[in-house]
Amino acid sequence: MAEFRGDDYLLGTDATEEARLGFQHQVWAAKTCELWDEAGFGLGQTLLDLGAGPGFASRDLAYLVGPRGRVLAVDGSARYLASLSRMRDALGLTQIETKLGDLHELELEPASLDGAFARWVLCFLADPERVVANVARALKPGGRFVVLDYYRYGEMALAPHSAAMDRVARAVEESWRRAGGSLDVGGRVAELCGRHGIECGPPRGGPRAARPGSALWQWPRLFFKGYLPKLVELGLITPADATEFERDFDQRERDPHAFFLTPPVWGFVGTKRK
């Protein structure tokens, strides 16, 4: 198993990345809420937020479960959990509890959870099945597991087409593999859950089309601002690839007929068998 690196994980946990996660949460909040609704997340429940990061989703879940509920936010980053605790205290959301640690080693009370949530987390894990098995044990019978993650990340595209984007997308996939994760994990979620007694409904979502100027268009722009230099540093693209990619994105941004097809993000709602 790849070594767990806490604050030094693939995307890092500095202030810029934390702000990006906040924006990303905003862009994906509506889709996420649809899945929480489908799962019946609500008042008084005990929910687990796996890989909670600075806790943008934990905060929303805390409002959903209310003061008599409980949200257990687990992450490997001490920095993110410190931010989360500051936010919790500022908002008086005492129903949020934080736990620092590697998700692979997480110890959970059997049959203690009404629900669990993992968004853009399984893709980082060397052994997602171990974590899914753990969640399955911790869910009460009928408990729900909501997952959002990538499958076939490389299908993201600009229209009109950009060859530089194809090269960059492949490089991103390779960077994840090298770090021990997989941007194809979304294709395995239902199978992994099924093996451990969680039945998933039909996958929701997939690629979304973003028009220049929209928040969804800004989402990849913000990610690649930070990640292109990293891909160059890793030797997965050349500086010329990065320049071509930026130039293509800038050109499409000025083209009112252009669009960006997001990497496919798939949502799953699983139910623990009774």
Ligand X SMILES: C[S@@+](CC[C@H](N)C(=O)[O-])C[C@H]1O[C@@H](n2cnc3c(N)ncnc32)[C@H](O)[C@@H]1O
The residue range among 3-11, 156-164, 220-228, 251-259 that interacts with ligand X, by the rule CB under 6 A, is 3-11
Residue from 45, 77, 134, 262 binding ligand X (CB under 6 A): 77
Burial code (b: 16+ CB inside 10 Å, e: under 16) for 132-147 equals bbbbbbbbbeebbbbb
Of 121-129, 158-166, 233-241, 249-257: span binding ligand X (CB under 6 A): 121-129
Q: Which residues, in sequence order, are CB contacts of 117 under 8 Å at separation 6+? A: 36, 41, 47, 48, 49, 50, 57, 61, 145, 146, 147
Give the interface segment with ligand X, choosing from 115-123, 159-167, 169-177, 236-244 (CB under 6 A).
115-123
**Residue 86 or 211 having the CB closest to ligand X:** 86
Cα atoms in the 13 Å half-sphere on the side-chain side of 130: 11
Q: Is 121 exposed, middle or buried (0-12, 13-18, 19+ CB in 10 A)?
A: buried
**Cβ-based neighbour number of residue 1 at 10 Å:** 10
**What would the two tokens of residue 219 be?**
């989402």
25 part of the interface to ligand X, by CB under 6 A: yes
Q: Does 76 bind ligand X (CB under 6 A)?
A: yes
Residues contacting ligand X: total by CB under 6 A: 22
Q: Does residue 120 touch ligand X according to CB under 6 A?
A: yes
Least separation in angstroms between CB 194 and ligand X: 23
Residues 6+ apart with CB under 8 A from 225: none
- Is residue 119 close enough to count as binding ligand X by CB under 6 A? yes
Q: Does 176 sit near ligand X (CB under 6 A)?
A: no
Cβ nearer to ligand X, comparing 55 with 69:
55
Instruction: Give the rounded distance of the alpha carbon of 146 from its chain centre.
Output: 11
- The 38-57 contact track toward ligand X, x by CB under 6 A, reads -------------xxx--xx
C-alpha pair distances (Å), 113 with each of 117, 133, 157 = 11, 14, 39
Of 117 and 259, CB closest to ligand X? 117
Out of 125, 138, 237, 258, the only residue in the binding site for ligand X (CB under 6 A) is 125
Spatial separation of the C-alpha atoms in residues 208 and 189, rounded to whole Å: 20
State the minimum distance, in angstroms, from the CB of residue 125 to ligand X.
6
Whether omega before 160 lies within 30 degrees of 0, making that bond cis, reads yes
Binding region for ligand X (CB under 6 A): 4, 9, 11, 21, 25, 51-53, 56-57, 75-77, 80, 102-104, 119-121, 124-125
